[in-house]
Amino acid sequence: MAIIRSFNGWRPKPEQAAKVASRPYDVLNSEEAREEAAGNDISFLHVCKPEIDLPEDIDHYADAVYAKAVENWKNFNRMVLLIWMQRQICMLTVKS
């Protein structure tokens, strides 16, 4: 069964899109994410893989990791890296 939903979302400003964009969090491990985000403070990996900004031996499910994600998201908003989409887009979900 297919489900189609419309929603508003966030997108990077066009002039920063290449630096903000990242691969999905679930296709790379923390070490790979750390390497990809090195030297790029505006990579979205800092939000979706926040453990890259903490000591390497941290438990990825520790409260500090979630707190870091919130902090990084707030920083993104403060830097106005992402803009709210005024028009809705559609997402298709296929369930078997």
Question: pLDDT (tens digit, 9 = 90+) per residue, 18-46?
Answer: 999 999 989 999 999 999 999 999 999 99
Tell me, what's the pLDDT at 96? Answer: 67
Q: Give the pLDDT mean for 68-94.
A: 84
Report the run of H or E that residue 6 belongs to, with start and end.
strand 2-7
Dihedral of CA 47/67/71/86: which sign?
A: positive
Tell me, what's the pLDDT at 45? Answer: 96
Tell me, what's the pLDDT at 8? Answer: 83
Q: Where are the alpha helices (DSSP H) in 1-96?
A: 17-20, 30-37, 45-48, 63-78
Phi first, then psi: give them for residue 12, nearest 5 degrees: -75, 155
11 pLDDT more than 80:
yes
